[in-house]
Chains A and B, each alone.
Chain A
Amino acid sequence: MATRGPISRALEREDTLAFWLLAPTLLILTLFIAYPFVRGVWLSLSNSTVGEPGHFIGLANFYKIFSDSIFRTAAYNTFVYTAITTVFKLALGLWLALLLNRHFRGKSWVRAFILLPFIIPTVLSTLAWKWMFDPTFSVFNWLFWKLHIINSRINWLGDPELAMGSIMMVNVWRGVPFYAISLLAGLQTINPDLHEAAAIDGANRFQRFWYVTWPLLLPVTMVVVLFSVIQTFADFQLVYVLTGGGPANATHLFATYAYQIGIGTGLLSEGAAISLAMFPALLLVVVFQLWYIRKVENR
Chain B
Amino acid sequence: MAQVKLTNLNKKFDGTHAVKDVNLEIRDREFVVLVGPSGCGKTTTLRMVAGLEEISSGDISIDGKVVNNLAPMDRDIAMVFQNYALYPHMTVYDNMAFGLRMRKFERPEIDRRVTHAADVLGIQPLLERRPRQLSGGQRQRVALGRAIVRNPRVFLFDEPLSNLDAALRVQMRVELKRLHERLETTAIYVTHDQVEAMTLGDRVVVMKDGTVQQVGGPLELYDRPANRFVAGFIGSPAMNFIGATLAEANGSLWAEAQGLRVRVPPQKAERLRRHAGQRVVMGLRPETLRPATAADSDYAFDATIDVVEPLGSEILLDVRVGDSPVVARVDPGLRFSARERVRLAFDPARVHFFDATSEAAI
What is A's interface to B at a CB cutoff of 8 Å? 191, 193-194, 196-204, 207, 211-212, 215-216, 299
Contacts and interface: CB of A to CB of B under 8 A. Distances in A.
**Contact-size category for B:** 20 to 34
B99 A201 contact: yes
Nearest to B98: A201
B85 A194 contact: yes
B277 interface: no
Nearest to B89: A215
B83 A299 contact: no
Nearest to B91: A299
B81 A196 contact: yes
Task: Label chain B's interface by main secondary structure.
Answer: loop
B170 interface: no
B85 A191 contact: yes
B98 A198 contact: yes
B85 A202 contact: no
Contacts of B52: 196, 199-200
Nearest to A190: B88
B271 interface: no
Interface string B65-99: 00000011100011101010101110000000011
A197 B88 contact: no
Given A191-B85, A199-B72, A200-B73, 4 more contacts: A197-B87, A200-B72, A201-B99, A207-B102
B73 A202 contact: yes
B20 interface: no
B208 interface: no
A125 to B, nearest CB: 38
Contacts of A207: 102
13 contacts: A193-B83, A193-B85, A197-B79, A198-B98, A198-B102, A199-B52, A199-B71, A201-B73, A202-B73, A203-B73, A212-B87, A215-B89, A216-B89
A193 B102 contact: no
Given A193-B81, A196-B85, A199-B52, A211 B98 contact: yes
A47 to B, nearest CB: 54
B102 A203 contact: yes
Given A196-B52, A198-B98, A216 B88 contact: yes
Interface of B: 50-52, 71-73, 77-79, 81, 83, 85, 87-89, 98-99, 102-103, 130, 146, 150
Nearest first, the 9 A-B pairs at minimum CB distance are A201-B99, A202-B102, A193-B85, A197-B85, A202-B73, A215-B89, A200-B72, A199-B72, A203-B102
A61 B87 CA distance: 54
Contacts of B79: 196-197, 200
Pick the most buried of A191, A199, A200, A215: most chain B CB atoms within 10 A of its CB: A200
Given A191-B83, A196-B85, A299 B130 contact: yes
B2 to A, nearest CB: 15
A204 B51 CA distance: 14
Contacts of A216: 88-89
A169 to B, nearest CB: 35
Contacts of B50: 196, 200
Contact of A197 (B71, B81, B103): B81
Contacts of B89: 215-216, 299
A204 B103 CA distance: 11
Contacts of A299: 89, 130
Given A216-B89, A299-B89, A200 B83 contact: no
A199 B102 CA distance: 10
B98 to A, nearest CB: 5
Contacts of B72: 196, 199-200
A95 to B, nearest CB: 22
A231 to B, nearest CB: 28
A48 B137 CA distance: 69
Nearest to A200: B72
Pick the most buried of A191, A193, A194, A202: most chain B CB atoms within 10 A of its CB: A202
Contact of A194 (B51, B71, B87, B102): B87
Contacts of A200: 50-52, 72-73, 77-79, 99
Contacts of B85: 191, 193-194, 196-197
A187 to B, nearest CB: 15
A211 B102 CA distance: 10
